[in-house]
Structure formats: C-alpha cells, structure tokens
C-alpha cells in the first residue's frame, strides 16, 4: 500500500521533471529556430538595400538561446571583474543590488516588527495607526523616489529608502496580525506562570506569531527584489537594474536577457532562503 | 473566626445586558464557600451556571463583579504560581516538546535552578504520568490523552498550593479518562495539594472528591449543597462501585442534576449575609436515625453553619 503510494509519488515527480525538460527544450528550440530562419527571402538574391547593409538583417532580432548561453558562460566564469564605471561583472552588479535590498529590508524589519508587535498587542495603537497604514501602504515605492532624492540628497541612500518603504508594510501587517491572533490560552499559560510582559513577549507571543511574521518577511523580500530593479534604473550607477538599462542603451539584448534570467534566479534564491528559515519556526497545532 | 485555606465570599458575576435598556445578566450571585487545605473538591452543575467563571476567578484570569477571594489570608489578585491551572484544551505550547512544556512551568517556578535540575524535576513528573518515552515529541505528535497528561505533569511539577482543573478529562474517551484519573489520584496522594475541579461526570467526582459542590442552574445560580464523600481512600475505579454507599451518593447527585438543580433555582434563599452551601451527607440522610444523630451530634458545627463550612473528616491531614 505505502510502497504503491511512494512509487506513484516518485513517478509523479519523475513525470513532472520530464514534462518540464520537454517544455524547456521545445521552448528553446522554437526560440532558436525562429531566430536562425531568414526573415526575408532566404536564398534569393539580395536586394539593393540588403547589399548596402552587407547582408545584415533589416531588423535586429531577439538573440537566440545559444548566444545567451555563451554570454552567460562568459559572464559567470568571471563575475567580479571591474573595468570601469560602465563595465563591471554581473556578480558585482548583483552584489550592489543585494546590498541595497538587504540593508533596506533589514532596516524595515527593525522598524516593522516592533511596531507590528505594538499594534497587535494594543487595540488602541491599532485603531490609531491603521488610517496612516492604509493610506501609505498602496503608494508605489517609486513615487517616493523624487521626495527621497530631494530630502536625502544621495541616490544610493534614496534607493535603500525606497526598498525600506516598500518592504515595511507586509512585515508590519503580518506581525500585527500574527500577534493579535495568538491564542488566549497560550497567553493565559504565561499569566498563570507569572511571566513578566517581556518574558511573555519573547517566550510565548513571538514563537506563536513567528510563522505569520516569517510569511510577511517572505512577501517583503519578494517585493523588495522587484522594486530594486526599477529603483536602480532610476538612480543609475551600479546594480542589476542599472545594468539592464545600460545594456539596453548599448543595444546589447543578449546581456539584457541574461541579466533578466539572473534577476529571476537571485529572487528565487532569496525566497528559498526565507522559506528555509521559516521551517524552523513553523509548528503544528 | 477561623479561616479555611481558600475563602470565597459573596461572589457575584454580572454581564451587562445586550439591549439598550436591558437589565444586566446575573450569572451567579452571593456565592460563598471555603476549601480546606489538602482537600479535593469537585464542582458539578449544568452549563452556564458559572463554574468556569469561578474557576477562572480563582486562577486570577477573570474577575467577579462583586465579592472577595482570600487564600491563606491573602487576597487573590491576578494569576500566580501558587495556583496552578489545567485547562480543558490542555493549553500546551505547540512549538515546544512535551519536556520543554513541563520545563517551561518548572523554570518559571524556580528561577534559580540549574538547567539540569529543571530537566530532572520535569522528567520526574513526566515519568509519573507515564510519558518518559515521548518527552521529545511536540504536542501535535501526541494523542489527546497524552497531551492532557503533559498538562497535568506541568501543573503538578510547579507544586502549586491550589490546583485548579477545568474539566480536564472532558475531551477524552472513557478508557483514557479512567487511566488518567488513576494517575491523577496517584500524583495527588503524593503531593497532597488542594484541588478544585470542574467536572460533568458524576462518577469521576465521586472517585476523586472529598466534597462535591452542587450548583443550581443559572442565571442567578448558587452553590446549593456540599456533598460529603466519605468513601475510604485510596479509592480505585474498579472497587469503588462495590462500596455500599456508592450508589446512594450517586443517586443523590444524579437526582440533584436532573430534578433539583432547576427547582432550587426559583427558590429564593432566605436571609442575608453569606450563603454557604449546606453540607449534605447522602448516606446518613437516607437512614433517618443517623440523620438526627448528626444534627445533634456537634453543636459546634450547627452554630457555625452559616459562616464556615467544616468538613467532619479532617483526620487525613492530622
């Protein structure tokens, strides 16, 4: 019985993997094929215009996967080179972005989790702060950028501020929600054992609310990683967002697609890291 | 005037009415009772009569609208470690293992103890409830009976002076309940704590209690009677039902719950001051010659009848 179930589960995983590989191969094959087939005419004699362009395509096409793979190999084999302001390795660019995301995100956590705790514990604080949160939360983080640049007068710090402001809300609201939802029985256990408020907060409420808080942190890191690309396109200088925009200005679409893929991979790794941490605080009731 | 170990006087609980001009709802009114040291008291009554409110007030988690509670001549204000609570839903912290849950209580009680002492003491109580094999499991990996055992171990391990049990076996099946009742008796007979327990199970109350408080139905509920259970200890589930007095007591209790709990409700108790429950011994009541004997036997009891409720058998505690 259980062996059958395991066998079926295995075969499901295997089948899913096979299907994923087939989809990948077909997708890449079509992409590659479309780009290699001549767009006009094929073997016919070149028109005057084509002769002028020495046989180049009239329209630039999206580079095929093989070119991107070659680019990826080249970039990833030397990710940390630094040959001047406009020519840095992908590792350095991602490093700048990660540095901004993580510093803005950690500052947001330091603010959001204590305030979320307060809001969750005190109905008064909740009612008083809720209108502000509801107005501030839907503001696109990039809308803050001009104001941040004006007040902070530093593009680097402004980018970090934008990350801070966008990652604060999910953490704040989830912490408040988790803390407010702590079962009364557990708080009563703390009370009957004469725990101080601080002990209750750390020994009962924090572990009880931790899974919800971690969910908020996971949502926040996802949003922060989405926002950093746009923020860096605006402030420029360094970072993966700036890299994408810079390669677009260079009309190097191979690098653009390669960096898009890298953004996806790093975002997935950030999410996996938080999912991994969440496993340690999850509990079953 | 001598005081019992725990004294509750003139306790009243009212909830504000729901409508605009609605009268407040009085759950119970003018309840007074005492618990003697080392005594096991069960309280029985229908749902809604305010048993849990009384218990939570004693635990310090709820408050009476009026009335006072005194334990060892000190007013009960808020929760405290000298009063341990076992809740019906176990109230274990799900992110801690069984051992860590007991350690949580022990650590709170004896802050100066080393980690080893805390663990040893916790293990001792987990062994008493037969859980030494599963101490590293989380509550979600334990059965309902095992969880309640952990909860009992946690409560007894902190050695509270007064132990409050709120229907601890309510959610368990009959077989498991019997086993844990035996374990409860075993631990209790070692530590001799004062226990106040809510139950809906008449047999359970007879098995465990020295006295059983009978509550009338709410609203305006009161503790009408305090039934003395004089069955010899140690009691065992299997043999206790063969005792000649068992069914006399049981019938008396069932009769109260089925018939008299609602009849007594409309009956306004006469007089003012503190209304202590009337002590009742169903065994003597059923044989008339004994009943008259009790009445005249101890003038001391009679004179205090409206003030303090003495239990005749205090021999166990010297």
Alpha-carbon distances, residue A194 vs A25, B58, B110, B167, B267 (angstroms): 63, 15, 12, 23, 41
Q: Which residues of chain A from 204 to 233 reach within 8 Å of chain B, CB to CB?
A: 204, 207-208, 210
Alpha-carbon distance A221 to nearest alpha carbon in chain B (angstroms): 25
Q: How far apart are CA B208 and CA B201, in angstroms?
A: 11
DSSP code at position A86: T
Residues of B in contact with A204 (CB under 8 A): 93
A193, B59: Cβ pair inside 8 Å? no
In this structure, chain A runs to a length of 285
Q: Give the whole-angstrom CA distance, residue A94 versus residue B42.
A: 68
Number of A–B residue contacts, CB under 8 Å: 55
Query: What domains can you pick out in chain A, each with its CATH number?
Result: 78-281 (1.10.3720.10)
| Straight-line distance from the first to the last Cα atom of chain A, in angstroms, rounded to the nearest whole number | 28
Spell out the residues 6+ positions from residue B297 whose beta carbon is closer than 8 angstroms to its own.
none
Provide the CA A174 distance to its chain's centre, in angstroms: 19
* Chain A residues touching residue B108 (CB < 8 angstroms): 193-195
3-state secondary structure A171-228: HHHHHHHHHHCCCHHHHHHHHHCCCCHHHHHHHHHHHHHHHHHHHHHHHHHHHHHHHH
Q: Using DSSP bridges, classify how beta strands B66-71 and B6-15 pair: parallel, antiparallel or unpaired.
A: antiparallel
pLDDT of residue A101: 97
Say which of B80, B87, B91 has its CB closest to residue A194: B80
Asked if B188 is an interface residue toward chain A (Cβ–Cβ < 8 A), one would say: no
- B295: helix, coil or strand? helix
d(CA B309, CA B225): 11
Distance separating alpha carbons of residues A82 and A99, to the nearest angstrom: 17
User: Which residue did the predictor score with more confidence, B192 or A120?
Assistant: A120
* Number of neighbouring beta carbons within 10 Å of residue B219: 16
**B94 contacts in A (CB within 8 Å)?**
283-285
**Distance from C-alpha of B193 to C-alpha of B186, rounded to nearest angstrom:** 12
CA–CA dist B122, B99 (Å, integer): 7
> What φ, ψ does residue B162 adopt, rounded to 5°?
-125, 130
Whether residue B198 contacts residue B52, with contact meaning beta carbons closer than 8 Å, is answered with yes
Backbone angles phi, psi at B280, to 5 degrees: -130, 140
Q: What is the pLDDT of residue B220?
A: 83
Q: What is the pLDDT of residue A48?
A: 67
Looking at the complex, does the CB of residue A56 fall below 8 Å from at least one CB of chain B?
Answer: no
Q: Is residue B88 within 8 angstroms of chain A, CB to CB? A: no
Taking contacts as CB-CB distances below 8 angstroms, the residues of chain A near B85 are 188, 192
| pLDDT at residue A239, as a whole number | 93
Residues B43, B198 contacting (CB under 8 angstroms): yes
Going by C-alpha positions, the residue among B114, B182, B193 that lies closest to residue B156 is B193
| Record: fold of B6-82+160-312 | Rossmann fold (3.40.50)
pLDDT beneath 50: ranges in chain B: 1, 289-318
pLDDT digits (tens, 9 = 90+) for B204-216: 999 999 999 999 8
- Residues 6 or more apart whose Cβ sits within 8 Å of residue A255: A71, A75, A243, A247
Cβ pair B79:A185 closer than 8 A: no
The answer to whether residue A187 neighbours chain B at the CB level (below 8 Å) is no
Q: CA–CA separation, A48 vs A46, rounded Å?
A: 6
Of B78, B105, B139, the CB nearest to A193: B105
A144 token code pair = 């803050």
Smallest CA–CA distance from A182 into chain B, residue: B93
Yes or no, beta carbons of A283 and B95 under 8 Å apart: yes
Helix (H) or strand (E) holding A20: helix A2-36
Buried b (16+ CB within 10 A) or exposed e, A112-140: bbebbbbbbbeeeeeeebeeebeeeeeee
d(CA B215, CA A277): 52
Tokens encoding B318:
């010297």
Residue B292 is predicted with a pLDDT of 43
Look at strands B66-71 and B74-75 and give their pairing: antiparallel
How far apart CA A147 and CA B229 sit, in angstroms, is 79
Distance from CA of A180 to the nearest CA of B (A): 17
For residue A60, which phi and psi values (nearest 5 degrees)? -70, 135
CB–CB contact A192 B85 (8 Å)? yes
Compute the nearest-CA separation of B290 from chain A (Å).
Answer: 45
Residue B34 forms contact with A (CB below 8 Å): no
Q: Per the CB < 8 Å rule, is B109 touching A283?
A: no
Chain A CB within 8 Å of residue B137 CB: no
> Which range (A67-81, A111-125, B239-253, B270-284) has the least confidence?
B270-284
Domain ranges across chain B: 6-82+160-312
A266 pLDDT above the threshold of 60? yes
With beta carbons under 8 A apart, name residues in chain A contacting B155: none
**Residue A195 sits at the chain B interface (C-beta within 8 Å):** yes
* Dist. CA B314–CA B318, nearest whole Å: 7
Predicted confidence at residue A169, as pLDDT, reads 96
Contact A4, A10 (CB under 8 A): no
- Crossing angle, helix A123-136 and helix A90-121, to 10 degrees? 140
* Nearest beta carbon to residue A185 from set B78, B91, B108: B91
Q: What is the ipTM of this complex?
A: 0.81
d(CA A188, CA B62): 11
Model confidence at A215, in pLDDT bands (50, 70, 90)? very high
Tokens of A110: 């330091």
- The pLDDT score that the predictor gives to residue A216 is 96
Strand, coil or helix: B215: strand
3-class secondary-structure state, position B10 = strand
Nearest by CB to A191, from B61, B89, B139: name it. B61
Closest Cβ–Cβ partner in A194, A204, A210 for B93: A204
- Say what the alpha-carbon torsion angle B80, B314, B275, B250 is, to the nearest 10 degrees: 100
A277–chain B nearest CA distance, Å: 15
- B267 CA: distance to closest CA in chain A (Å): 37
Residue A22 has phi, psi (to 5 degrees) of -60, -45
Task: Give the span between the Cα atoms of B122 and B135, in whole angstroms.
Answer: 10
Which residues neighbour B150 within 8 Å (Cβ) at sequence distance 6 or greater?
A: B90, B92, B98, B101, B102, B126, B129, B131, B139, B142
Res A6: pLDDT = 60
Note the pLDDT tens digit of each residue in B75-118.
988 899 999 999 888 899 999 999 999 999 999 999 999 999 99
- Whether A192 and B81 lie within 8 Å, measured CB to CB: yes
The pLDDT tens digits for A160-200 are 999 999 999 999 999 999 999 999 999 999 999 999 999 99
Name chain B contacts of A193, Cβ cutoff 8 Å.
81, 104-105, 108-109, 158
- Are residues A191 and B93, on separate chains, in Cβ contact within 8 Å? no
Which DSSP helix (H) or strand (E) runs through B106? helix B98-109
């Amino acid at each position: 019985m259980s062996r059958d179930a395991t066998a079926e589960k295995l075969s499901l995983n295997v089948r899913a993997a096979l299907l994923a590989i087939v989809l990948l191969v077909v997708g890449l094959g079509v992409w590659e094929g479309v780009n290699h087939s001549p767009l006009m005419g094929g073997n016919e004699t070149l028109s005057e215009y084509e002769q002028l362009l020495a046989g180049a395509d009239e329209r630039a096409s999206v580079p095929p996967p093989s070119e991107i793979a070659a680019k990826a190999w080249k970039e990833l084999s030397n990710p940390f080179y630094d040959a001047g302001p406009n020519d840095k390795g992908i590792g350095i660019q991602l490093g700048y972005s990660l540095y901004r995301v993580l510093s803005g995100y950690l500052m947001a956590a330091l603010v959001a989790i204590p305030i979320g705790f307060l809001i969750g514990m005190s109905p008064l604080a909740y009612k008083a702060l809720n209108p502000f949160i509801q107005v501030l939360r839907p503001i696109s983080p990039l809308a803050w950028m001009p104001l941040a640049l004006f007040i902070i007068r530093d593009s680097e710090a402004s980018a970090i501020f934008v990350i801070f402001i966008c990652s604060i809300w999910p953490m704040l609201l989830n912490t408040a929600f988790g803390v407010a939802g702590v079962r009364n029985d557990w708080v009563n256990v703390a009370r009957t054992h004469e725990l101080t408020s601080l002990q209750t907060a750390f020994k009962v409420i924090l572990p009880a609310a931790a899974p919800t808080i971690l969910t908020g942190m996971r949502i926040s890191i996802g949003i922060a990683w989405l926002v950093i690309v746009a923020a860096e396109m605006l402030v420029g200088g360094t970072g993966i967002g700036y890299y994408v925009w810079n390669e677009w200005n260079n009309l190097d679409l191979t690098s653009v697609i390669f960096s898009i893929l890298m953004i996806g991979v790093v975002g997935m790794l950030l999410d996996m890291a938080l999912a991994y941490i969440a496993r340690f605080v999850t509990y079953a009731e | 005037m001598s005081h019992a170990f725990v004294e509750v006087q003139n306790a009243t609980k009212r909830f504000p009415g729901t409508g605009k001009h609605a009268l407040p709802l009085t759950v119970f009114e003018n309840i007074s009772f005492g618990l003697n040291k080392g005594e096991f008291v069960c309280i029985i009554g229908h749902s809604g009569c305010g048993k849990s409110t009384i218990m939570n007030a004693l635990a310090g988690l709820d408050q009476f609208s009026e009335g006072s509670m005194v334990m060892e001549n000190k007013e009960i204000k808020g929760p405290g470690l000298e009063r341990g609570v076992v809740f019906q839903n176990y109230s274990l912290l799900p992110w801690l293992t069984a051992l860590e849950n007991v350690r949580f209580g022990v650590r709170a009680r004896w802050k100066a103890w080393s980690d080893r002492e805390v663990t040893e003491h916790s293990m001792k109580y987990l062994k008493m409830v037969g859980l030494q094999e599963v101490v590293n499991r989380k509550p979600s990996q334990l059965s309902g009976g095992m969880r309640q055992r952990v909860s009992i171990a946690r409560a007894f391990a902190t050695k509270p002076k007064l132990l409050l049990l709120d229907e601890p076996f309510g959610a368990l099946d009959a077989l498991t309940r019997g086993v844990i009742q035996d374990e409860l008796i075993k631990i209790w007979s070692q530590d001799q704590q004062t226990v106040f327990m809510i139950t809906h199970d008449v047999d359970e109350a007879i098995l465990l209690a020295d006295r059983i408080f009978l509550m009338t139905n709410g609203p305006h509920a009161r503790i009408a009677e305090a039934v003395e259970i004089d069955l010899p200890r140690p009691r065992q589930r299997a043999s206790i039902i063969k005792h000649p007095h068992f069914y006399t007591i049981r019938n008396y209790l069932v009769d109260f719950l089925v018939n008299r709990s609602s009849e007594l409700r409309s009956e306004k108790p006469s007089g003012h001051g503190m209304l202590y429950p009337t002590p009742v011994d169903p065994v003597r009541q059923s044989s008339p010659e004994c009943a008259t004997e009790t009445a005249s036997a101890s003038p001391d009891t009679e004179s205090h009848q409206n003030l303090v409720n003495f239990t005749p058998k205090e021999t166990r505690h010297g």
